[in-house]
Structure formats: structure tokens, C-alpha cells
Amino acid sequence: MGIARKIFDEMPVRDVVSWNSIISGFLQNGEHGKAMAVFSEMGRSGVKLDRTTFAVALKASAGLGSGKEIHGRIIKSRLGLEPFIGGALVHMYCKCGAMKEAKKIHDRSDPQPMVSWNAIISGFSLLQQSEEAQSFFLYMLEGGVKPDNFTYAAILDTCANLATVGLGMQTHAQVIKQQLQSDVYISSTLVDMYSNCGKLQDSELMYEKEPKKDLVALNSLICGYSQHGLGEKALMVFEEKRPEKVNPNRTTFLSDLQACAHKGLLGTGMCYFHTMQQEHRLEPEIEYYSCMVDLLGRSGKTEEALGLIEGMPFEADAVIWRTLLSICKTDGNVEIAEKAASCILQLEPDDSSAYILLCNSYADAGMWGLK
């Protein structure tokens, strides 16, 4: 963008197309602040802003919280009732989490563009308001509006969040009817939906049918098997079904470590923990260490678990100390249990669970009357 901006600055005459191009360029490169700075500069230049200018600016402003100001300028320009601008406004307000304002604009739009319907469904989903998203989807169907591939993908995502397999299967049937099952995002979301709903065979079948297998779908399948207590199956999927030339990411390794912890596979877990660092240059974050602490504890290696925590390159949080304290009950190591409880209470003084877990450790060690 540096060269493009230099050429733009050297232009003797800059029309609306050139202004829109430079704003779009910054937006596409994720430089929202610079895009908005050029938009403001354009406003001062005297060049008349058009519908494309406002649409691009609304996209850039969604991440900066300056959309209301642009909305005001749109109203003054009398472009607010255009479907193209209306859809961009709805999208902007949804991105900002202002669903009430988004719905107001959507309801006033005539016609109501598909991008507007999809933005509201996706907006509710991003806010973890999946029930509202599904209600709006049903309202859309009742109005005779035909969903597109983005709609189906968004509603399948809400079915995954709520584990509503009934609506998910109905949506899947419509996807087949509309011959959209080859859509990469839809097929990946189907894997995730069936996985979250516990329909693991269907999830694996969707993965096998994917036209282009991706890491997102693979991670969903591995995570599903892991969360439903099928750790060995999760690891088998990772080893046998991973697409060629596709490197695992952080989510993949976290699911693998969770699977190892559920099954007590210490050697395999240690291998993955070192592989992610040495071969893939992925530095483990605290949740990865927490998995390893759990795995070491389940294998009766409480002292090694403590050593792992103390050797972390960042401060331990209460969650990982609580994991260590929980495994001390099984291992019977009261000394480490006391240290873990002390660290928890330093971080969260009002945490009563630390006292309960420590008392359980004393009781299991036959030390109830000694403390």
C-alpha cells in the first residue's frame, strides 16, 4: 500500500474512483484506521462521496466504533434507503453488536437485501445469541425469503453452538435439495454441527465427503471425538485422516492433548507437546500446559506436573493450580496440594473450592485430624 499511496498522493486530479480504490486497499489490508483517515481526507477534499465510498467506509468503521458518524452523513446524503447502503449499515451495526439498530434498518429497507438477512443471523451468532439467530432464520423463511449458502452456513453454526441436531438435520436436507453441499464453508460447518451434537459417525461421513478437506473440519472432528470420551479415535483421525501438506495448528494440538489426557496416554501426549514446539514452532499457551499437568497427574507424576508449572515462561493462573490440586487428591501428595491451594488463594482469595479440595486431600491421606 505504500507505493499505491505514493502514486495516489502524486496524482494531479483525484476523482471518486481513485479515492474509493485507496480506501478499499487499506481496508483489504486490515488497516482500518488508515482507511478511515483517507475517508476523512476525502470528505475535506470536496469530492462528492458516492454509495461505494460509504459502503467501504462502513466496513472499515465496524472495527473502530465510528459507524454512527458515517450513518449520519449517509442520512444527509439521502442514500440511506438504497438496498446496497442499507445492507452495509446492517452489517456495520451487527459487527458492533448493536443488533437493535441493525434490525431497525433492516425492517425499514425495501427490498431487504440478502446480505442484510445474513448479517443479522451471523451477528446474533457472533454474540452467542444462537436462539435469536434461529428465530430470525425461521422468520426469514416465513416471509418467503430463499436462503443462500451464507445463510445455511450461519444457521448450521448456531445449531453447532446449541447442539440442536433437529434443525441442523433439516437445514442439511435443504442444503442437499439446493445442491449446496459442495460449498466448502457449508461442508466444514456440517462436520462441526454433527460433531457438537454427538453425531460423530455423521460428522466423520461429512468430513469424508468434503470436496476439499481443510484443517477447520479436521479439528472439529478430532475435538468431537475427544470431548465425547473417544480419545483413541480422536488420535486415529489425526494420524490417518489429516490432509497431505496441511500442517496442524494450535487447535489441532490442543484437541490431541485433551484426547491424550482423557485416556491417560502420557507418552503420546508428551510427543505431541514437544512436536508442536520443535517441528511446528508453536509455543504452547497456558491451556496446553494445563492439559499436560492433567495428563501427568493422571499418570501419577504429580511432582513432574509441579515442575512443569514452575518452568512455564509465564505466570500460572488459578485454573492450572486448581488442576494440580485436583490431581493431588488422587495421588495423595499433601505437600503439593498445600502449595497449589496456597497459590490459588493468593490469586483468588474468595475461592472456597480450594479449601474443599485441600480438605479432601487431607481426608484421603488420613490426615483429617492432624490439621
The pTM assigned to this predicted structure is 0.73
One pLDDT digit (tens) per residue for the chain, 371 residues: 777 777 777 788 778 888 888 888 887 887 878 877 877 777 788 778 787 887 778 777 775 566 777 787 777 777 666 777 788 888 888 888 888 888 888 888 877 888 889 999 999 988 889 999 999 999 999 989 999 999 999 999 999 988 889 999 999 999 999 999 888 889 999 999 999 999 999 999 999 988 888 888 899 999 999 888 888 899 998 888 877 777 889 999 999 998 898 888 999 999 999 999 999 999 999 999 999 999 998 888 999 999 999 999 999 999 999 899 888 877 777 888 889 889 998 999 888 888 787 887 777 666 655 44
- Among 63, 62, 50, CA closest to 19: 50
Burial class for 294, CB neighbours closer than 10 Å (0-12, 13-18, 19+): buried
Residue showing cell 478511515: 36
CA 72 to chain CA mean position, Å = 32
Q: How many residues does the chain have?
A: 371
State the SS3 of the chain.
Answer: CHHHHHHHHHCCCCCHHHHHHHHHHHHHCCCHHHHHHHHHHHHHHCCCCCHHHHHHHHHHHCCCCCHHHHHHHHHHHCCCCCHHHHHHHHHHHHHCCCHHHHHHHHHHCCCCCHHHHHHHHHHHHHCCCHHHHHHHHHHHHHCCCCCCHHHHHHHHHHHHHHCCHHHHHHHHHHHHHCCCCCCHHHHHHHHHHHHHCCCHHHHHHHHHHCCCCCHHHHHHHHHHHHHCCCHHHHHHHHHHHCCCCCCCCHHHHHHHHHHHHHHCCHHHHHHHHHHHHHCCCCCCCHHHHHHHHHHHHHCCCHHHHHHHHHCCCCCCCHHHHHHHHHHHHHHCCHHHHHHHHHHHHHHCCCCHHHHHHHHHHHHHCCCHHHC
Burial class for 144, CB neighbours closer than 10 Å (0-12, 13-18, 19+): exposed
